[in-house]
Structure 1
Amino acid sequence: MKLSMKNLSVKVIVIALAAGVVAGCSLTKPHEKAAAAKADQAGLSAVESSRFDGTFVAPNAQFAQYRKLLVEQLDLNEVQIRKQTTDKINDTPWELSDADRRYYQERYTEALMNNLIADGRFATSLQAGADVLQVKAKILEIAPLASKDDPQGRPTMMKVYSEGMGTMTLELTLIDSATGDLLAIITDRRDLGRIWEENNRVTNNIQIRLAFNQWLRTLRTELDRLAVK
């Protein structure tokens, strides 16, 4: 009987561990899975304790050698707009206008300059070099929580309130500008606010600016940490 109880205990522990593994896997976000697949194909390894959802780095990357950044414009060409399910018959597509795209790109560039360039840690470069790190950024997804605050999205006098503005997902790619070698893939999803407030163009723009600032501040932290390894 003691042996049976022991075997039963072992089985219970194994089942519990298996359930934990399944639960952990189910919590992995789609953008993390996609980044992990690309990283695995490129031979990159996951960085433990990253402040991003996922950071994958080349084993032999020497980040300490980079003192300049070759920065490309924020890529919005393949952004997916994921809307909440709705039964409103007059609901219209949530789309980025040219003005929206410019705003996103300007806020990204502003955040990069403030967090990586302003204090002299990095300088900007217009051409490749041995000490130049190429930075590419792409918005993968925007998931708004309400119709867009424009004439096509909602009536002029309508006020909408939501708990935050939604979420936005970013992917960063770091490349050795001289060799073209892929050094890192970073992905992260951020909540665009977490409090109940009016959902309009002004509050959306504020949250977009805050998201980019947090992302680039975190990138600075990660680069500083990788440079001392």
Structure 2
Amino acid sequence: MMNLVRLSTVCIALMAAPLVTAAGVEASANAGMEKVEVKRLDEVLAKPNIDWAKYTSVSITPLDMSTTTIKAPSGTHKRDIPELTEKIQAPFKDLYLKAFTREFSEDGLLAEAGSKKSGTLRIDSKILELAPTYIPDSTMNASGRNRAYTQTAGKIQMQFDIYDAATGEHLATVTDKREATKMWRENNSVQNRSQINQIMGTWARIFRTHLDDLGEK
């Protein structure tokens, strides 16, 4: 009887507790931020009255794909939607890190990974969604008829969270979706890697040249 009473008490407590959704967690993380217009980026939320000029270096953390979803093209069979294995994730993570390292190294702005030095920004990034233009049909693969041509490999949606590396204060969140330059070509691993590289390079250049715009309204 005692166990039933305890279980009842727990259930009542859970029913009375506020429901925390993913949207609620995100809203909490972005509390106190305001929308800022930054050239070439879809959505930017930043804390007001931040002296961005005091930041003279940037630390880049590895790309996170632990919560990435795949938005398959219309008509794709569920059996053909691939799992995001480490092998599939590898080129995204590799090309992201290379692009941002290269871009910030050119101006001497790159700080060591894990740096908590004053005046350093930390950029944490994650892919929210991959929307490939084409996913091979497994029945076609079995027959060897799997060559396809598309304008682009697809779109990548990213979220970038910017922190003060020394204090851990969350300063800004950037969400952006883009695709490579449209041009008809064979859809294969070599071409897809080239397009991922182009997209990551574009983001890296935008961040290097427009970080100061976060302070503008």
Inter-partner Cα distance in structure 2 for 1:124 and 1:185: 22
2:141 is paired with a residue whose SS is coil
Q: Name which of 43, 48, 53 aligns with 1:54.
A: 43
Q: Is 2:70–2:131's contact at 8 Å kept on the other side of the alignment?
A: yes
Inter-partner Cα distance in structure 1 for 2:216 and 2:72: 42
**Shift in alpha-carbon separation, 1:84–1:228, aligned structure 2, 3 A:** closer
The reply to whether residue 206 of structure 1 matches residue 194 of structure 2 is: yes
1:72-95 Cα offsets, whole Å, 9 max, x none, are: 110000001000121669x51223
Q: Is 2:69–2:129's contact at 8 Å kept on the other side of the alignment?
A: yes
Q: Is 2:73–2:131's contact at 8 Å kept on the other side of the alignment?
A: yes
Offset of residue 124 of structure 1: 2.9
User: Which consecutive unaligned segments of at least 5 residues does structure 1 have?
Assistant: 1-33
Offset of residue 197 of structure 1: 1.6
1:76 is paired with a residue whose SS is coil
**Shift in alpha-carbon separation, 1:79–1:135, aligned structure 2, 3 A:** same
Match of 1:160 in 2: 148
TM-score of the superposed pair, with normalisation by structure 1: 0.74
Q: Is 1:45–1:59's contact at 8 Å kept on the other side of the alignment?
A: yes
1:92-113 Cα offsets, whole Å, 9 max, x none, are: 1223331222221110111101
**Shift in alpha-carbon separation, 1:153–1:105, aligned structure 2, 3 A:** farther
Which amino acid counterpart does residue 152 of structure 2 have in structure 1?
G
Match of 2:67 in 1: 78
Q: Is 1:166–1:193's contact at 8 Å kept on the other side of the alignment?
A: no
Match of 1:21 in 2: none
Match of 1:65 in 2: 54
Q: Is 1:132–1:177's contact at 8 Å kept on the other side of the alignment?
A: yes
Inter-partner Cα distance in structure 2 for 1:94 and 1:153: 15
Offset of residue 152 of structure 1: 9.2
Q: Is 1:64–1:228's contact at 8 Å kept on the other side of the alignment?
A: no
**Shift in alpha-carbon separation, 1:49–1:219, aligned structure 2, 3 A:** closer
**Shift in alpha-carbon separation, 1:186–1:180, aligned structure 2, 3 A:** same
Q: Name which of 96, 99, 106 aligns with 2:94.
A: 106
Inter-partner Cα distance in structure 2 for 1:42 and 1:136: 18
Match of 2:85 in 1: 97
Task: Report the aligned-residue RMSD.
Answer: 2.8
Offset of residue 49 of structure 1: 4.4
Match of 1:22 in 2: none
Which amino acid counterpart does residue 154 of structure 1 have in structure 2?
N
Which amino acid counterpart does residue 164 of structure 1 have in structure 2?
T
1:163-174 equivalences under 5 Å are: 163-174=151-162
User: Which consecutive unaligned segments of at least 5 residues does structure 2 have?
Assistant: 1-22
**Shift in alpha-carbon separation, 1:137–1:148, aligned structure 2, 3 A:** farther
Offset of residue 220 of structure 1: 0.9
1:1-150 equivalences under 5 Å are: 38=27, 41-86=30-75, 92-148=80-136
Identity within the alignment, %: 29
Offset of residue 69 of structure 1: 2.4
2:150 is paired with a residue whose SS is strand
Q: Is 2:36–2:216's contact at 8 Å kept on the other side of the alignment?
A: no
TM-score of the superposed pair, with normalisation by structure 2: 0.77
